[in-house]
Amino acid sequence: MSQRELGDFTTNGRRLAILTGLGASMGIVSGFVALALLRLIGLITHVAYEGRWGWSLIAPNNHRWGVASIVVPVVGGLIVGILAKYGTDKIRGHGIPEAIQAILENQSRIEPRVALIKPLASAITIGTGGPFGAEGPIIMTGGAIGSLVSQFFPLSPVERRTLLVAGAAGGMSATFGAPVSSVLLAVELLLFEWRPRSLVPVVVAAAAADGVRAFFIGTAPIFGTLPSPTIPWSAFAWVVVMGLAAGVVSGLLTKLVYVIEDAYHRLPIHWMWWPAIGGLFVGVGGLVDPRALGVGYPTIRMLGAGHLLWTAAITLFLVKAAIWILSLSSGTSGGVLAPLLLLGGALGTILSPLLPGHMTGAWATLGMAAMLGGTMRSPFTATIFAMETTHNWNLLLPVLIASVAGTVITVLWIPRSILTEKLARRGVHVAREYAAHQLEGQAAHEIMVPKHETQTAAATMPVREMARRIEVAPDASHRSYPVVDREGEVMGVVYRSQILSRSQGVVADIMQPAHAVGMWERVRAVVETMVRDDLRELVVRNRGGDWVGWLPREEVFKTWKRALAEEEHRQATFSVPWRRSSRRAPNC
């Protein structure tokens, strides 16, 4: 590939078309799976709390059973524990960490039984009052289906990852009617790249799933309310305060989740019983405030509309936080997005009397986004998610500011998010920073040893004479030499160790084949070539095919070191007067 042919992106049109077609299929399938899971949650809720059949998604109502309703989430937790022990323990947890782990450790392969048992366990947990959202299990289930389908085709691990994420994004899109934020969640949490080869199939999957939702449910926003008043610029400092407060609370919640999880590990009983213990706390909390039970979508809608009283918001926040932490730490199955939205909305409602304008609904919406962004370290996802689910677009900029402020607090305070901490405890590190590769900005000709500075070895030179040359002018860093013919053209490569270990023959007898790259190739591509073919050096050629330089592996390392220095070395380009005077002060 010539320098003129180098593009901004590396994309294969044929592979992209195949993945896009499969992504559309994943979106449709995951859309139907999401709708089926929501119906299953509704059915279990009706049976468990109403004693009758029904499919609509309702809030758990413990008035029918009274104090006996405590038993409902305990039974649900017991069933989930049994499913985890005798089915698969991969159903334990939020859903998103498990999808990330499959991507990082298992080449994007998820076991078939996860696709069946995970949604069943989650529906039982949530349907019996568990304070979770359906999005985590649906993301895991959609990802499992995408992974399973991909295994029937000759795809690479990276392409399987794309279909896994397409299924996950489709599931979230169909659940909330939020296709754009579903794609952003995929980019910020699951894809580990920003490339057309993965972005396009995921976008198509999210759009297809949203189409399924629109056909069966409609296009109304799931948390839609009347538009909130626009927050004036004079109050933007308070927007930052709202975000920082949500960041502090989200950090505390994250720490408490794992403190309680450690406490569960100290119990002298098998982990199969932990979800039932968590269910007991859920049942007791439901007696204090029934609105803390279940997915909480109607309550989130009330918070966004500003229809919840201040005292009720305090009770809701305390109860929801307590039962969510105690239940989630037990290893039961359920998502974290909806609980974070509810907690953030309650926090915004609680703080609204202290904030300008007393715009309860607006501050609740900011609290939702800031809590989600801070806890998941995904501010773009949180911002667009809040907009798509409320259609309160006049709050776009304040929501973004609050989300970023919340994220800053948790990033500086806690090394890992609530999702990646679980993986870290399993020995899996997740890097969340995305950046263009440090070696992408340089070409091979910028770091090569030019031809006129390269020490060569003539093909007809006796090995003994070449060894004497090395001994007279030793250079420990020069480990290889290009072998040239009479015309100066490179024939191969010979290594210092080979020369010093032989005493007979000529250099051509011990040389190895030489591989070449174009002088315009990016250094990152050069490194990939070296790794793929296990090479230690390369001949650099120009467009006419003439060799113009020599590129040993050591030069690449020097380039990487220079790239690190550019990031870490700090100095002022211009000098300011007060700095000059401060430097001269000691001589006075």
Burial class (CB in 10 A: 0-12, 13-18, 19+), 486: exposed
pTM over 0.95: no
Q: What is the pLDDT of residues 482-518, one digit of tens each?
A: 888 888 888 888 888 888 888 788 888 888 888 888 8
User: Which residue, 192, 144, 150, 194, is CA-closest to 170?
Assistant: 144
| pLDDT of res. 586 | 52
| pLDDT of res. 2 | 46
Give me the mean pLDDT over the 529-550 stretch.
87
Span of 95-109, 245-259, 571-585 with lowest mean pLDDT: 571-585
Tell me the pLDDT band of 259, cut-offs 50, 70 and 90: very high
Q: Which two tokens stand for residue 22?
A: 């499969």
User: Which residue, 83, 80, 62, 81, is CA-closest to 71?
Assistant: 62
Give me the mean pLDDT over the 129-141 stretch.
83
Is the predicted pLDDT of residue 170 greater than 50, yes or no? yes
Residue indicated by tokens 């296990």: 534
Is the predicted pLDDT of residue 5 greater than 60, yes or no? no
Is the predicted pLDDT of residue 98 greater than 80, yes or no? no
Instruction: Give the single-character DSSP code of 423.
Output: H
Q: What is the pLDDT of residues 195-213, one digit of tens each?
A: 888 899 999 999 999 999 9
CA gap 165, 110 in Å, rounded: 12
Find the helix or strand (DSSP H, E) in which 82 lies. helix 71-86
| pLDDT of res. 4 | 45
| pLDDT of res. 410 | 93
Instruction: Give the single-character DSSP code of 227.
Output: P
Give me the mean pLDDT over the 540-546 stretch.
87
- Return the percentage of the chain with pLDDT > 90, whole number: 39
**Residue 282 near residue 332 (C-beta atoms within 8 A):** no
Angle at 235 between CA 230 and CA 239, to 5 degrees: 85
Burial class (CB in 10 A: 0-12, 13-18, 19+), 56: exposed
Instruction: Give the single-character DSSP code of 582.
Output: H
Among 180-194, 281-295, 487-501, 504-518, which range has the highest average pLDDT? 281-295
Q: What is the largest CA-CA distance in the chain?
A: 98
Q: What is the pLDDT of residues 402-456, one digit of tens each?
A: 999 999 999 999 888 888 887 777 777 777 777 666 677 778 888 888 988 888 8
| pLDDT of res. 413 | 92
- Return the percentage of the chain with pLDDT > 70, whole number: 91
Residue indicated by tokens 């800053």: 408
Q: What is the pLDDT of residues 223-248, one digit of tens each?
A: 887 777 788 888 899 999 999 999 99
CA gap 184, 378 in Å, rounded: 8
Look at 2 and 298; give whichever has higher pLDDT: 298
**Residue 470 near residue 463 (C-beta atoms within 8 A):** no
| pLDDT of res. 582 | 52
CA gap 149, 164 in Å, rounded: 9
**Residue 175 near residue 34 (C-beta atoms within 8 A):** yes
Strand partners, 458: 484
Question: Is the sign of the CA dihedral 124, 126, 128, 130 positive or negative?
Answer: positive
Helix axes 196-216, 13-45, angle to 10 degrees: 40
Gyration radius from the chain CA atoms: 30
| pLDDT of res. 287 | 94
Give me the mean pLDDT over the 355-381 stretch.
91
Look at 63 and 322; give whichever has higher pLDDT: 322
Question: Is the sign of the CA dihedral 207, 211, 217, 220 positive or negative?
Answer: positive
Span of 176-180, 357-361, 386-390 with lowest mean pLDDT: 357-361
**Residue 201 near residue 166 (C-beta atoms within 8 A):** yes
Is the predicted pLDDT of residue 535 greater than 50, yes or no? yes
Is the predicted pLDDT of residue 477 greater than 70, yes or no? no
| pLDDT of res. 127 | 92
Q: Domains in the chain, please, with CATH?
A: 12-216 (1.10.3080.10), 233-424 (1.10.3080.10), 444-568 (3.10.580.10)
